[in-house]
Amino acid sequence: MSARREDRKEDRRRADERIAAQRDAYAGLLSTAAQMRVHIEMTCRRYWKDMGVRLTSIQEHAVSVGLQASRAALLSPAPVADAALSVGLAASNLSSWAVENVDLGDFSGPDNQFLPGEMRSHPDLGEFDVATATFFRLAANILG
């Protein structure tokens, strides 16, 4: 009788640990995705002397989102795992967009003054926002 009780306790402990790991992974993915989105929006709003650094930061954010997405996917059932990986893919697509749409800046101003870099256009955040919202909805259903 006590062996069964201990087994049930152990099963509950493992279930609680799994839920805590999922919650941590889901929060990490949503947090890094939000940080990336804000960074891209800020970068697109004005000229920057350090555009190369900002572009590198966008790429690093995309990698972080991808890593968090993989972590969340490994801890999730299929629909949530697929949604997490979609967030990672959308982040990668945004990073690629940034590389294709950036002017880093150069010394072509009057008297060879440095002209700061800029994004030539604003990104379409639709894919990223839909992927993030879908993941959030599915993750919230899992965690209750």
CA distance 27 to 31: 6
**CA-to-CA distance for 89 and 1, rounded, in angstroms?**
50
Q: pTM, whole model, 2 decimals? A: 0.87
Closest CA to 44 of 55, 33, 34, 32: 55
Q: Is pLDDT at 113 greater than 80 in this prediction? A: no
The residues near 34 (Cβ < 8 Å, ≥ 6 apart) are 132
Give the tens place of pLDDT for each residue, 30-76. Answer: 999 999 999 999 999 988 888 889 999 999 999 999 999 999 999 99
pLDDT of residue 1: 66
What is residue 118's predicted lDDT score, i.e. its pLDDT? 87
Query: Would you give the distance in Å from CA 34 to the centre of its chain?
Result: 7
pLDDT band of residue 15 (cuts 50, 70, 90) is confident
Percent of the chain clearing pLDDT 70 (strictly above): 95
Cβ-based neighbour number of residue 40 at 10 Å: 25
Cα→Cα distances 116→40, 56, 87, 108, Å: 17, 16, 31, 10
**Terminal Cα-to-Cα distance of the chain (whole angstroms):** 32
